[in-house]
């Protein structure tokens, strides 16, 4: 894995890992505010050049608490520095939600979205109740995170999902979006299924017999899933 530090627009240094060769795919970790836990050659999608940015204010990246728009600006700084015209954006968990936001804000930069085990564009009480009821049964996968970054991005997410034009923007989006649920995830999948139905070029699939963090619990399944998903989306 090559380390490729990139200067954000305000000069903050962002950590970015990169591996492989081929079409460009950027992988976003979740949280929000978690370290870049997907940065591992063993689980990286095959046949692509995979980029692994660490969020501003987290782990090896400088800076601090920030909004979703600032997160997208950082991704754009990375894309421009690598002279990439457009790339596939693959996000896990909250990274899936950020990927959708990115596609709506900068559609010319996003070749497609692959959203795995995200929460969608909702803050529903029944969804949250189901999640919290099953939380103790979820496999424990410790991941370092930064509470101030988590709070700032969570607040920004709430502002976004309350925007008046959001559903219209999704329904008008020309960006292909593939949503994937983990069958044993305690998070209900209906928001992802709704997104797949709403966006004109959307799809929904479910990976059997794996929990939310199957990048850690079932790495072979994860590697196969992300590789196959990238291949389908990048198919001419």
Confidence band of 1 (pLDDT split at 50, 70, 90) = confident
pLDDT of residue 215: 98
| pLDDT above 90 coverage of the chain, percent | 97
User: Considering its fold, how many domains does the chain have in total?
Assistant: 1
Q: What is the mean pLDDT of the chain?
A: 97
Q: What is the mean pLDDT of residues 193-213?
A: 98
| Contacts of residue 45, Cβ cutoff 8 Å, sequence gap at least 6 | 20, 25, 27, 90, 223, 226, 227, 229, 230
* Residue 147 reports pLDDT greater than 90: yes
Confidence band of 25 (pLDDT split at 50, 70, 90) = very high
- Helix or strand run (H / E) with residue 116: strand 110-116
Q: What is the mean pLDDT of residues 162-175?
A: 98
pLDDT in tens, 34-48: 999 999 999 999 999
Confidence band of 232 (pLDDT split at 50, 70, 90) = very high
| Contacts of residue 46, Cβ cutoff 8 Å, sequence gap at least 6 | 20, 223, 227
Whole-angstrom Cα distance, residue 146 to residue 31?
Answer: 9
pLDDT in tens, 107-117: 999 999 999 99
Is 229 within 8 Å of 201 (Cβ atoms)?
Answer: no
Query: In terms of residue numbers, what domain contains 147?
Result: 2-234
- Domain of 57, CATH number, reads 3.40.50.1820
Whole-angstrom Cα distance, residue 191 to residue 177?
Answer: 14
Whole-angstrom Cα distance, residue 220 to residue 54?
Answer: 23
pLDDT in tens, 172-186: 999 999 999 999 999
The tokens for 123 are: 């803050």
SS3 content of the chain, % helix, strand, coil (to 5): 40, 20, 40
Longest pairwise C-alpha distance within the chain: 46
């Amino acid at each position: 894995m090559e380390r490729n530090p990139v200067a954000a627009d305000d000069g903050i240094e962002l950590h970015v890992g990169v591996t492989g060769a081929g079409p460009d795919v950027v992988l976003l970790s979740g949280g929000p505010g978690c370290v870049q836990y997907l940065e591992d050659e063993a689980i990286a999608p095959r046949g692509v050049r995979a980029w692994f940015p660490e969020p501003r204010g987290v782990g090896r990246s400088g800076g601090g608490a920030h909004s979703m728009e600032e997160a997208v600006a950082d991704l754009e700084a990375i894309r421009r520095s690598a002279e990439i015209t457009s790339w596939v954006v693959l996000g896990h968990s909250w990274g899936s939600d950020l990927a959708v936001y990115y596609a709506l804000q900068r559609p010319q930069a996003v070749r497609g979205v692959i959203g795995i085990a995200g929460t969608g564009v909702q803050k529903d009480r029944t969804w949250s109740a189901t999640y919290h009821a099953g939380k103790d049964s979820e496999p424990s996968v410790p991941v370092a995170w930064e509470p101030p970054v988590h709070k700032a991005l969570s607040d920004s997410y709430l502002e976004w999902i309350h925007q008046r034009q959001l559903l219209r923007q999704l329904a008008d989006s020309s960006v292909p979006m593939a949503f994937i649920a983990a069958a044993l995830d305690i998070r209900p999948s209906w928001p992802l299924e709704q997104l797949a139905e709403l966006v004109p070029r959307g799809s929904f699939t479910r990976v059997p017999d794996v929990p939310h963090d199957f990048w850690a619990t079932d790495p072979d399944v994860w590697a196969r899933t992300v590789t196959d998903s990238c291949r389908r989306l990048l198919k001419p």
